[in-house]
Amino acid sequence: MATKKNVDYKTLQAELDGILERLQHGEPDIDEATEGYERGMQLITELEAYIKDAENKVTKLQAKLKDIAD
């Protein structure tokens, strides 16, 4: 995953929080709102990929544990 190399989960989430804060509590114009929305959705996609990656690791770990138990 391209984003994962340089940017960690925390940083991505912090950017998302910042965008939401501006959109929810600021008075963005429609261009800002659209741009923020698009960037926010992109960040969410990246975070989902991050989670998927972690889930895969857990699944592998579970399989390993099952092997040991067997």
Partner 1 sequence: MNMSTEELVLSVSDFVALLNQTLEYAYPSVVVSGELANFRVSKGKWVYFDLKDEFSSVRCFGTVYQLPGPLEDGMMLHVRAMPHLHQLYGFSLNIMYIQPVGEGAIRRAAELLQAKLAAEGLFDESRKRLIPYPPQHIGLIASGESAAYVDFIKILNARWGDIEIVHIDVQVQGEPAIAQIVSAVEQLNGLAEPPEVIVITRGGGSAEDLQAFSSEQVTRTVAASRVPTLVAIGHEVDISLAELAADQRASTPSNAAELLVPDKRQVLEQLASSQIRFVQAMQHILMTIKGDLVTYRRDLLQSLERTLQRTAQLVTTQRQLLAALSPEGALQRGYVIVRRAGKIITNAHALHPQDGLTLHYHDGTVDVTVSK
CA proximity to 23, closest of 8, 38, 10: 38
d(CA 29, CA 10): 28
Binds partner 1 (CB under 8 A): choice among 2, 5, 24, 70: 24
CA-based torsion, 7, 8, 13, 18: positive or negative: negative
Answer yes or no whether residue 48 interacts with partner 1 by CB under 8 A. yes
Neighbours of 5 (CB within 10 A): 7
What single-letter amino acid sits at 29? Answer: D
Q: Which residue's CB is nearer to partner 1, number 5 or number 46? A: 46
What single-letter amino acid sits at 26? Answer: G
Q: Which residue's CB is nearer to partner 1, number 3 or number 40? A: 40
Q: Which residue's CB is nearer to partner 1, number 8 or number 37? A: 37
Applying CB under 8 A, which residues contact partner 1? 16, 19-20, 23-24, 28-30, 33-34, 36-37, 40-41, 44, 47-48, 51, 54-55, 58, 61-62, 65, 68-69
